[in-house]
Amino acid sequence: SIVRRSSTAGASYVSRRGFASGSAPERKVAVLGAAGGIGQPLSLLMKLNPLVSSLSLYDIAGTPGVAADVSHINTRSEVAGFAGEEQLGQALEGADVVIIPAGVPRKPGMTRDDLFNINAGIVKSLCTAIAKYCPNALVNMISNPVNSTVPIAAEVFKKAGTYDEKKLFGVTMLDVVRAKTFYAGKAKVNVAEVNLPVVGGHAGITILPLFSQATPKANLSDEEIVALTKRTQDGGTEVVEAKAGKGSATLSMAYAGAIFADACLKGLNGVPDVVECAFVQSNVTELPFFASKVRLGKNGVEEVLGLGPLNDYEKQGLEALKPELLSSIEKGIKFAKEN
């Protein structure tokens, strides 16, 4: 187990004795890839989160500027920027939650799997450092292809002897955010009240929104549900095409990543009944990793919740996604074992 940072650790921190930290416990959050398209707005949103006492921003370059900028915001957390591999250990030491949006994004015509060759190596090296410097942290994996990068992370942690399946999450929250938005628009209900699970994985048809469980209920036609399902599955591509070569979702992803990290922090702090969807090690299906609702607690995943009742269309979608999801999982495991 790991010793929490003392006030003397980490020279980049001007002071660990912050003011007005209230009654919330000290929590360190590290963002890896913090100077990127997602990383910057995500760093901003985490700076606004009163549950964070220490915000550690790491990237291969550019983080001193991002950190200086964000640090002027008059909220609770102290901010430190770390650039380059030699500072990665310091960035991670004592972290309670590590959020990983490091790696290349898609361009038009690319699938998430096309990112595999570059991002797999990045994720592997970052997870090797996590195993060394903050083996107890909750890891929120944003880097794509999530269906493969989460299994890679699991293998790296297993090899290091630090794997705890309760602490590793693929962030699928953006699929939930999109499904809620699109459903509210079609069903003409208040978007703030909408809730529904999105299960499976995080790429194309592996993204399975369960609109039959959506609340508030609405009488949508089969055609409308099919269209909503496709739009949710293709939501990322919609943004990639609109950005026309300038990358993929960054702002909505930062929002989704910040909500998911907030849920993790609430769970760590003992808030009851924190339930969100995430891609985790799972027994819900025969696949070793699967996204579904999970209850978050003091150790990370407290309970992986089942799928609930599916209609025939959703049952078909579930069967259809399994081969692709399994092959993406196996591809990640194979990479981690061979590299």
Q: Which stretch binds ligand NAI (CB under 6 A): 37-45, 189-197, 302-310, 311-319?
A: 37-45
Question: Which residues 271-330 are close enough to bind ligand NAI by CB under 6 A?
Answer: none
Q: Is 72 a catalytic residue?
A: no
Question: Using an 8 Å Cβ cutoff, are 329 and 282 in contact?
Answer: no
Task: List residues bridging with 139 in a β-sheet.
Answer: 98, 168
Residue sitting closest to ligand NAI (CB): 36
Q: Which stretch binds ligand NAI (CB under 6 A): 17-25, 98-106, 184-192, 266-274?
A: 98-106
Of the listed 167, 202, 293, 331, which one is catalytic? 202
Q: Does 248 bind ligand NAI (CB under 6 A)?
A: yes
Quote the CA–CA distance of 329 and 318 in Å, as a whole number. Answer: 16
Write the DSSP symbol of residue 195. Answer: B
Q: Which stretch binds ligand NAI (CB under 6 A): 20-28, 48-56, 243-251, 261-269?
A: 243-251
Judged by beta carbon, residue 36 or residue 332, the one nearer ligand NAI is: 36
Question: Using an 8 Å Cβ cutoff, are 325 and 147 in contact?
Answer: yes
Indicate the Cα dihedral angle 204, 251, 181, 296, nearest 10°. 80
Task: List residues bridging with 275 in a β-sheet.
Answer: 295
Closest CA to 245 of 37, 50, 62, 91: 37
Q: Does 150 bind ligand NAI (CB under 6 A)?
A: no
Q: Does 228 bind ligand NAI (CB under 6 A)?
A: no
- The phi, psi pair for 217, rounded to 5°, reads -65, 150
Tell me whether strands 168-170 and 198-200 are parallel, antiparallel or unpaired.
unpaired
At 209, the amino acid letter reads P
In whole angstroms, how close is the CB of 260 to ligand NAI at the nearest point? 10
Quote the CA–CA distance of 68 and 64 in Å, as a whole number. Answer: 6
Q: Does 250 bind ligand NAI (CB under 6 A)?
A: yes
In whole angstroms, how close is the CB of 21 to ligand NAI at the nearest point? 28
Q: Does 144 bind ligand NAI (CB under 6 A)?
A: yes
- Identify whether 216 is preceded by a cis peptide bond (ω within 30 of 0): yes
Give the interface with ligand NAI as residue ranges (CB under 6 A): 32-33, 35-39, 59-60, 101-106, 115, 119, 122, 125-126, 142-144, 146, 171, 174, 202, 247-250, 253
User: Which residue numbers are catalytic?
Assistant: 202
